[in-house]
Every structure is written in structure tokens, then in C-alpha cells.
Amino acid sequence: MRAISMIVTAGLMLATSLAAQSGSPSPAEFTAGLQLGYASGFGIQVHGTAAGFADGFPLRPRFGIGYASVEPGRALDARRVFINNNTNGTPEERARVWNFKLDLLFPVEVLALRRAYAFGGVRHARFNANFRFVGGNEDFDVRSKHWGLGGGLESYFGVSPRVDMVFTAGLEYFFASTLTAHDTAYSPDGDDVNPREDYTYADADAAVGQPKLAPNLLMGFSYRF
């Protein structure tokens, strides 16, 4: 929760700072959006954007929260690395990622797009993969938390005076982080906790589908208040 609080606090501080600089007679503009699409799996994202805080200031701060259902990894390999060498039971698996985003948007001219923005910022992802072996008496989660960076391009098309249709294409990169399951943890720096046999972080990394390089292709709508 501390990492999430840091991102939210940074976003609020940035918005407050921009508001304090406001010398424009134009009122500040706030936008809320909802998008669906591909984010290393089926994903949904909600976000809020602010603009018009300072006359001539070109950047728009945006805070977003994304959720995606992603590929969990290889169930049998994860079982060996984190739990035991048993092979009984029928594997069932699922995984999800919560992604907290803080971006700055900048207007750009691309092709014939009338309202296009480049964006970039910081990411914090929380990954959880569940592996359940039906008939094998095993049910465990592998978790990790990752900092990362992201960027991309998006374009707006007016539907009504306050509603826009939005298309977004982006790419996110997440730094390696500790993978934890039950009482075992593998870290990129080799500071492992209760590692099984001779397994290392490289083995855990290969067994689990935690976020690394994540493309995003989303579409949705935004509403200007």
C-alpha cells in the first residue's frame, strides 16, 4: 500500500503545484475515462486527467488504475520451484495484474490525427498467480510487486461536446522483483528465502508469468467535466 500511496500522493502534489501556478482565465478541465482491450491479456483501465491549470503549460497529469487477466506461467514448473516435486492432480491456473499509473500527456502532431497525445510515466504493478492441482491437494499463489515505466500514443475523436472516443497504444517495462509463494521467495539479487533444492531466481522467473514487457492496445471513452 505504501507504493500506491506514493503514486497517488505524487499525483496530488503535481496537480496542486500546477493549480498554484494558474494565471489563465480559462477554468481547469477534468476528464474521466474508461478503456478496454489488450494489456498482456484482457484488461480494463480507469483514469482521471487534469488540464488547464496554468496558461501555456503543455502537460496534462493523469492517474490511472488498470486490471488485467494474464497468463500465469507453467503450473508444474511453479510447483517444483516453490512447493514440491509431486506431479499428481490436474492443474488449474489463473493470474491477474493490478497496475497503478502516473503519466504526463503532451499534445503531438501525428499523421492526420487532430487530437493526439504522447504520454509517459511511472508504473507500479501487483501480480498474483494462482495454481491449483485438483486431486493433488495443492493450491498456492505466487505474488510479486514491480516498479516500471510506460509510454505511448493516444488519439481522441469527439462523439459529443463532452464525450470522446479514445484509442491508446503503449508499451510498459517492469523491473525484476522478488517472487514469493508460501514460505519461499526468490530475488533477482540472489537473496532467496527457503529456496527449494538448487533452484534460483532464473528458474522461478521462467516458471511464472509476472509482468516484464507489456504492450497495451485499448479503446474506450472519456468524459470532460
Reported confidence tier of residue 13, pLDDT bands at 50, 70, 90? low
Of residues 28 and 176, more confidence is placed in 176
Reported confidence tier of residue 111, pLDDT bands at 50, 70, 90? confident
Lowest mean pLDDT among 12-26, 97-111, 154-168: 12-26
Work out the average pLDDT over 5-10: 54
Cα→Cα distances 173→7, 64, 111, Å: 17, 16, 26
Please tell me the pTM assigned to this model.
Answer: 0.84
Is 102's pLDDT higher than 60?
yes
Lowest mean pLDDT among 4-8, 18-22, 52-56: 18-22
Place of cell 502534489: 13
- pLDDT (tens digit, 9 = 90+) per residue, 191-204? 999 999 999 999 99
Place of cell 487530437: 115
List residues bridging with 104 in a β-sheet.
61, 120
Reported confidence tier of residue 35, pLDDT bands at 50, 70, 90? very high
Is 78's pLDDT higher than 90?
yes
List residues bridging with 211 in a β-sheet.
none
The reported pLDDT for the residue numbered 18 is 43
Is 25's pLDDT higher than 90?
no
Of residues 12 and 165, more confidence is placed in 165
Is 16's pLDDT higher than 80?
no
Question: DSSP assignment of the chain, as one string?
Answer: -HHHHHHHHHHHHHHHHHHHT---SSPPEEEEEEEEEEESEEEEEEEEEEE-SSTT---EEEEEEEEEEE--B-HHHHHHHHT-S---SEEEEEEEEEEEEEEEEEEE--TT-SSEEEEEEEEEEEEEEEEEEETTTEEEEEEEEEEEEEEEEEEEEESSSSEEEEEEEEEEEE----EEETTEEE-TTS--BS--TT--HHHHHHHB---SEEEEEEEEEEEE-
Is 9's pLDDT higher than 60?
no
Lowest mean pLDDT among 63-72, 90-99, 112-121: 112-121
The reported pLDDT for the residue numbered 187 is 98
Place of cell 522483483: 177
Q: Domains for the chain: give ranges and CATH numbers.
A: 2-23+35-224 (2.40.160.70)
Our CA dihedral for 190, 194, 200, 201, rounded to 10 degrees, sits at -60
